[in-house]
Amino acid sequence: MRSIAVVLVFAAACGSKSPSTTTPRAGDDSATMVLPDLPFDKLDPDQRAAFMKQKVVPQMKVIFQNHDAKDFAGFGCKTCHGEQAKEGHFDMPNPKLPKLNFKDMSKFKKEDIEWMKNEVWPTMGKILGMPLHSEENPKGFGCLNCHTQEGQ
């Protein structure tokens, strides 16, 4: 059950617990920024914005839209980061995403949990250059990088 819970955390799968980033300053051309070969948490705020636009959104958009084309037709920053993205704030985890109770995941559809576990979680971890959460690696990328727990 714990592994299923870990998987669900990646529903948003759009960030890490690293400090918030802000929208690039006017004049920055993040669409063409050449990014260093570093994990996401080592990038500066402008590089993070470019990274999300160049790597995360294109790959995750396909995964989300293949899962539910209607619900995720407008996939973008707001999908994972919420309304705060409009103001240039991308704090994660996002308390507006579904809250998780690892002891009872029954409020989620089994197919959604499997999708998170098999597609969203590993893909997001790979994109971010982070090892995945496991019992052996409790600090790896997991559900609570995007979601919060019920009661918190």
Per-residue pLDDT of the chain (152 residues; tens, 9 = 90+): 444 333 343 333 444 444 344 444 444 444 578 999 888 889 999 999 999 999 999 999 999 999 999 999 999 999 999 999 999 899 999 999 999 999 999 999 999 999 999 999 999 999 998 999 999 999 999 999 999 999 87
Q: What is the pLDDT of residue 74?
A: 96
Q: What is the pLDDT of residue 73?
A: 97
Cα–Cα distance, 37 to 85 (Å, whole number) = 25
Per the CB < 8 A criterion, the answer to whether 124 and 10 are in contact is: yes
Cα–Cα distance, 41 to 70 (Å, whole number) = 32
Q: What is the pLDDT of residue 103?
A: 94
Q: What is the pLDDT of residue 21?
A: 42
DSSP designation for 84: G
Q: What is the pLDDT of residue 149?
A: 95
Q: What is the pLDDT of residue 141?
A: 96
Q: What is the pLDDT of residue 41?
A: 87
